[in-house]
């Protein structure tokens, strides 16, 4: 059972949207009450989300799963099995590619349909996977493949976050958070076969990486063909007939009342943004940017090179091998926790779940810093076992935090400037990864300093986000944007 509320805005005098009809007397025109249309539709969840899931299957469960595998290589899950020299450039090359792709898509998305970015990004990922397969031992070729694959992910990620935010309301949290679920799934695949791979095999692990990439990219490209463009894209170009056709395809069963209600909400969203000047939109974006910049950058700290070195080193000492069970559980816990979290984003909400995850991560990271404060502890079987357990728990709670960042990015900014700010924040997230890789030193002293500083930052982040982050579950983009523009949002609901 789905109930949709569409409220018209009486203060918008734009032609075709609102026309005053109340009689006017000596005291002026009477204020117009808001008109609310309630539409109740009974349909199965599968039918309601068919077209949305096609989009998610193409952009997430295929393209971004392979992107998660590349991400895992970037944060250290390649060194035990790689037969080529792994340099810092090899690790941060993918992040540079993502920055390029995110900036290109952000600057051009206003003029080009989002489906085009999925096709181009998928082709670039397919190209990178083919290079991995054809030249698994050539460092220069593999490095080029990582740049190309990174650009593909950047071209896909920014349009997807905006696209899914525009076509989904009641389940926007679940639909948007599939970005993080897919990355976690790719991480789990990469860590699993990377840990299992044997040096005695005659083929390179890069060959398997490329084969899986080809499979994921081909399936993704096929699913793109059945994806639906956002009605907002055509409404902005005064192509209402095309916009309505897209809205009809997004509503299972093509229920007229539901289509009309959702279409009217999308049109009000566009009109409300177009009625403001560019300066007003930029001014309204300052507070959302300050909130989302720190929130999304914290996602980078949940999967970083120091965490990889810590779990591998602590496992080797406590279990006597770098191929023991904690490595498999480490990545699986992140995936399982993201799957659990997406079930809560549209019921319990984004804010409370993410704050619980961030608070627990801060405590666990400070706990690891306390153990690494004494250099002799790295030779202790007991202490390294505790570090291993803390690292496992950290990934379990990381999944609670990271999923909320995806729907937040799709909701936070005014329509006209949203692509630029989302692209900028995604690029800044990659810069955090690059800084950590370049500055990383595999020493106990560095691990202590890193975990201590990041743990304190996360603890401060809990206080900051508890005050300023809004709860936006089941809200329209207009209402969610209004909450992000407030300075404080202490209420947890």
Cα–Cα distance between 118 and 116 in angstroms, integer? Answer: 5
* pLDDT tens digits, 393-403: 999 999 999 99
pTM for this prediction: 0.86
Cα–Cα distance between 409 and 295 in angstroms, integer? Answer: 10
Residue of 188 and 248 predicted with greater confidence: 188
* pLDDT tens digits, 301-325: 999 999 999 999 999 998 887 778 9
Q: Is the pLDDT of residue 408 over 80?
A: yes
For residues 243 and 235, the answer to whether their CB atoms sit within 8 Å is yes
Domain spans of the chain, in order of start: 50-229+276-485
Cα–Cα distance between 388 and 321 in angstroms, integer? Answer: 13
108 pLDDT tier (thresholds 50, 70, 90): very high
Cα–Cα distance between 166 and 164 in angstroms, integer? Answer: 5
* pLDDT tens digits, 451-465: 999 999 999 999 999
* pLDDT tens digits, 208-229: 899 999 999 998 998 888 888 8
Cα–Cα distance between 454 and 449 in angstroms, integer? Answer: 8
In CATH, which of 3.90.550.10, 1.10.3720.10, 3.60.20.10, 1.20.1250.20 is domain 50-229+276-485?
1.20.1250.20
For residues 458 and 362, the answer to whether their CB atoms sit within 8 Å is yes
Please, what is the Cα angle at 60 between 253 and 360, to 5 degrees? 115
Token digits of residue 304 = 């970083």
pLDDT for 3? 45
493 pLDDT tier (thresholds 50, 70, 90): low
* pLDDT tens digits, 72-104: 999 988 854 444 456 888 899 999 999 999 999
**Residue partners of 6: CB distance under 8 A and separation at least 6:** 36, 37, 39, 261, 262, 264, 265
pLDDT for 354? 95
Cα–Cα distance between 410 and 407 in angstroms, integer? Answer: 5
Token digits of residue 118 = 């999925």
257 pLDDT tier (thresholds 50, 70, 90): confident
Cα–Cα distance between 159 and 229 in angstroms, integer? Answer: 11
- Give bridge partners of residue 165 from the DSSP assignment: none
pLDDT for 201? 64
Evaluated on CA atoms 394, 399, 400, 405, the torsion sign reads positive
**Residue partners of 215: CB distance under 8 A and separation at least 6:** none
**Residue partners of 462: CB distance under 8 A and separation at least 6:** 355, 358, 359, 362
Evaluated on CA atoms 330, 332, 338, 340, the torsion sign reads negative
- Read off the pLDDT of each residue in 272-301 and give the average, rounded to a whole number: 93
Q: Is 213 left (phi over 0), alpha (psi -120 to 50) or beta?
A: alpha
- Read off the pLDDT of each residue in 33-60 and give the average, rounded to a whole number: 46
Q: In three state form, how does the secondary structure of 232-282 look?
A: HHHHCCCCHHHHHHHHHHHCHHHCHHHHHHHHHHHHHHHHHHHCCCHHHHH
Cα–Cα distance between 340 and 28 in angstroms, integer? Answer: 55
Of the CA atoms within 13 Å of residue 109, those in its CB half-sphere come to 34
Judged by DSSP in three states, 31 sits in coil
């Amino acid at each position: 059972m789905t109930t949709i509320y569409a409220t018209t805005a009486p203060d918008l005098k734009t032609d075709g949207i609102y026309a005053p009809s109340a009689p006017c007397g000596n005291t002026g025109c009477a204020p117009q009450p808001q008109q609310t249309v309630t539409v109740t539709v009974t349909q199965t969840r599968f039918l309601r989300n068919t077209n949305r899931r096609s989009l998610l299957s193409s952009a997430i469960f295929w393209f971004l799963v392979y992107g998660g595998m590349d991400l895992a290589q970037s944060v250290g899950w390649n060194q035990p099995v790689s037969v080529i020299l792994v340099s810092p450039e090899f690790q941060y090359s993918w992040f540079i590619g993502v920055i390029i792709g995110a900036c290109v898509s952000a600057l051009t998305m206003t003029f080009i349909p989002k489906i085009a970015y999925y096709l181009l990004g998928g082709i670039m990922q397919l190209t990178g996977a083919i290079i991995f397969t054809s030249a698994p031992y050539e460092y220069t070729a593999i490095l080029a493949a990582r740049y190309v694959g990174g650009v593909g992910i950047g071209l896909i990620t920014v349009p997807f976050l905006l696209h899914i935010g525009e076509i989904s309301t009641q389940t926007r949290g679940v639909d948007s958070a599939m970005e993080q679920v897919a990355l976690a799934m790719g991480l789990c695949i990469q860590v699993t076969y990377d840990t299992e791979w044997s040096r005695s095999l005659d083929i390179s692990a890069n060959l398997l990486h490329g084969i899986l990439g080809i499979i994921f990219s081909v399936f993704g490209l096929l699913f793109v063909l059945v994806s639906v463009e956002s009605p907002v894209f055509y409404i902005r170009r005064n192509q209402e007939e095309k916009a309505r056709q897209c809205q009809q395809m997004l509503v299972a069963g093509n229920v007229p009342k539901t289509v009309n209600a959702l279409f009217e909400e999308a049109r009000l969203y566009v009109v409300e943004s177009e009625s403001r000047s560019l300066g007003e939109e930029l001014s309204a974006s300052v507070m959302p940017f300050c909130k989302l910049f720190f929130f999304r950058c914290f996602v980078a700290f949940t999967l970083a090179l120091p965490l990889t070195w810590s779990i591998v080193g602590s496992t080797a000492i406590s279990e006597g091998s770098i191929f023991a069970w904690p490595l498999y559980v480490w990545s699986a816990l992140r995936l399982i926790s993201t799957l659990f979290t997406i079930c809560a984003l549209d019921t319990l909400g984004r804010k409370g779940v993410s704050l619980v995850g961030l608070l627990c991560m801060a405590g666990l990271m400070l706990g690891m810093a306390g153990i690494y404060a004494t250099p002799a502890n790295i030779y202790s079987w007991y202490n390294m076992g505790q570090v291993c357990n803390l690292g496992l728990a950290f990934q379990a709670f990381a999944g609670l935090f990271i999923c909320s960042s995806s729907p937040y990015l799709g909701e936070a900014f005014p329509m006209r400037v949203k692509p630029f700010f989302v692209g900028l924040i995604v690029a800044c997230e990659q810069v955090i990864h690059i800084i950590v890789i370049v500055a990383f030193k595999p020493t106990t002293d560095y691990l202590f300093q890193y975990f201590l500083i990041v743990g304190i930052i996360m603890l401060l982040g809990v206080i900051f986000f508890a005050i300023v982050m809004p709860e936006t579950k089941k809200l329209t983009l207009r209402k969610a944007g209004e909450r992000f523009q407030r300075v404080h949002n202490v209420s947890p609901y």
